Amino acid sequence: MVSEDPVIRELIRRVREAEANEFDLPHVLVCFDLVTGEVAYSGPYPTALDAIRAADVEERFAAFDPAAELRFMVARIGDPLQIR
């Protein structure tokens, strides 16, 4: 349910717009090994969809190893000039 408060509605609209604009930016695939605690990265991929496709492939391969406890996440590559 969307809030009736116009400020909240505008905030939601802006967040959705920002997320949509970021979809076409470069992304990486992050793999968390829940057994060993290791973290691995692959990419960069040109868009979020490309990274999601890579995650799908990796998840299919991981399914062949029942002992593996891997979690995958897609993350946008931030502009280093905007990090403060």
> Each residue of 5-20: b (16+ CB within 10 Å) or e?
eeeeeeeeeeeeeeee
Q: What pLDDT digit, counting tens, does each position of 29-53 carry?
A: 999 999 999 999 999 999 989 999 9
DSSP secondary structure code for residue 4 in this structure: S
Which segments in the chain show pLDDT lower than 50? 84
pLDDT value, residue 33: 93
pLDDT value, residue 3: 65
pLDDT value, residue 79: 66
